[in-house]
Amino acid sequence: MKKMTEAQLAELETDLNAIRDEVLADLGDRDASYIRRMVRLHRSLEAGGRLMMPFGFIPPVFVAATVTLGVAKILENMEIGHNVMHGQYDWMNDPSLHSQTYEWDTVCTSDSWRRTHNYEHHTYTNIIGKDRDYGYAVLRLTDEEPWKPWHALQFINYILLSVFFQWGVGLHELETEKLRSREISWREKLPFLKEFARKGGRQAFKDYVFFPLLTFPVAPIVLAGNVGANLIRNLWSSTVIFCGHFTQDAETFTEEECEGESKGHWYLRQLTGSSNFTGGRWLHVLSGHLSYQVEHHVFPDLPAHRYPEISGKVQAVCQKYGIHYNTGRFAKQYGTVLKRILRHSLPEKVTGMARAA
């Protein structure tokens, strides 16, 4: 992490707080209209996808229905659910868009997400041993984590995690690594497992039983389409999240260097531990504006559609203090993610020898 004096960190905090305060002072109808427009778009896409699905015996219609439903799920999870649960629209006092009452279309419960993501991840971002989102307890992405033989197969784990991403996220709070080491017991996790089983069961029933049976003569087609839509959502959301956190230049931190950190130091950690990617407007919308992951980690409770507007100001602050602003084309950033996964699948002595050669 870049070394800065306490005075510089205090000044950094002041500069970033000023950007945040400017946006907060301007919140209003434009933001409310935006999120409600996204909700209407999601509902239209979901209805369209589900209405087309029974006619999926016509191949082009099947593809259109599956993609439409997949995009609807992406929009709901990324641009609506994730951002609403960060409290970005709590100021509207709309129960349907409030962080404490919103329940999203995925097997992970909102309560579990708020605990593991909003609190744990955003508080301890990229601190090895504290941020369990870093590698999701199945991927080794830094030399600070000791290599174990099963890491050699972690690219397979990455593929499986991406394919079943909603289930991996839903079970993240189970803390399987602590269960294996017996730091915690299964009994302690029973309340969570019951909560997960209820939500996961409802989601599975809806997509894999209810809607197929509703169109019984073509149930297999509808089932296949729903599986495909969930797969599209899983692959896209996992790729976006990985590009925001695990690129080659995204830094990691030790518990010692973050002990007793100030708000300015926390800001510095968010700036250097996150990654952006560039693209067109709809790429940003369908990524939940997590294409501006740097801005999101610095200002998680500001409406995400505002991130493009403040990105230039955040970059200017980074330039002022000589902080690297990590951004690049989507394909380039994703390529560095894959490279990082592959590199850390090998022991440090092997990768070190390769670099030396």
pLDDT of residue 357: 46
pLDDT, tens digit only, all 357 positions of the chain: 788 999 999 999 999 999 999 999 999 999 999 999 999 999 999 999 999 999 999 999 999 999 999 999 999 999 999 999 999 999 999 999 999 999 999 999 999 999 999 999 999 999 999 999 999 989 999 999 999 999 999 999 999 999 999 999 999 999 999 999 999 999 999 999 999 999 999 999 999 999 999 999 999 999 999 999 999 999 999 999 999 999 999 999 999 999 999 999 999 999 999 999 999 999 999 999 999 999 999 999 999 999 999 999 999 999 999 999 999 999 999 999 999 999 999 998 666 544 544
Q: Give this prediction's pTM.
A: 0.95
The b/e string for 204-218 (b: 16+ C-beta within 10 A; e otherwise) is eeebeeebbeebeeb
Cβ atoms of residues 88 and 301 within 8 Å:
yes
CA distance 329 to 327: 7
111 DSSP 8-state letter:
H
Residues in the chain: 357
CA distance 43 to 34: 14
Question: In this structure, what DSSP letter does residue 78 have?
Answer: I
Q: How far is CA 19 from the centre of its chain?
A: 23
CA distance 118 to 78: 14
**pLDDT for the residue numbered 137:** 87
Q: List, as one string, the DSSP characters of 258-303.
A: GTT--HHHHHHHHHHS--B-B--HHHHHHTTTTTBHHHHHH-TTS-
Where are the alpha helices (H) located in the chain, listed in sequence order? 6-26, 29-52, 59-74, 83-85, 110-113, 122-123, 154-163, 165-170, 176-180, 186-205, 211-214, 219-245, 263-272, 281-286, 293-298, 307-321, 330-343, 348-356
> Under the phi-then-psi rule, with left for phi > 0, alpha for psi from -120 to 50, and beta for the rest, what region is 106?
beta
pLDDT at 351: 62
What is the Cα–Cα distance from 133 to 117, expressed in whole angstroms?
8
At 278, give phi and psi (nearest 5°).
-95, 160
Residue 292 pairs with which residues in a beta bridge? 276
Query: What is residue 348's predicted lDDT score, i.e. its pLDDT?
Result: 81
- Say if residues 154 and 138 touch (Cβ distance below 8 Å): yes
Domain regions of the chain by residue span: 6-356
**What's phi and psi for 292, nearest 5 deg?**
-105, 55
Residue 106 near residue 203 (C-beta atoms within 8 A): yes
**93 torsion bin: left (phi>0), alpha (psi -120 to 50), beta (else):** left
Helix, strand or coil, per DSSP, at residue 143: coil
Residue-wise pLDDT tens digits, 68-125: 999 999 999 999 999 999 999 999 999 999 999 999 999 999 999 999 999 999 999 9
Q: Which residues pair with 329 in a beta bridge?
A: 278
Write b or e for each residue in 250-271: b if 16 or more Cβ atoms lie within 10 A of its Cβ, otherwise e. Answer: bbbbeeeebeeeeebbbbbbbb
* Residue-level pLDDT at 354: 47
Burial class (CB in 10 A: 0-12, 13-18, 19+), 21: exposed
State the CB neighbour count (10 A cutoff) for residue 28: 10
3-state DSSP assignment of residue 151 = helix
pLDDT at 218: 97
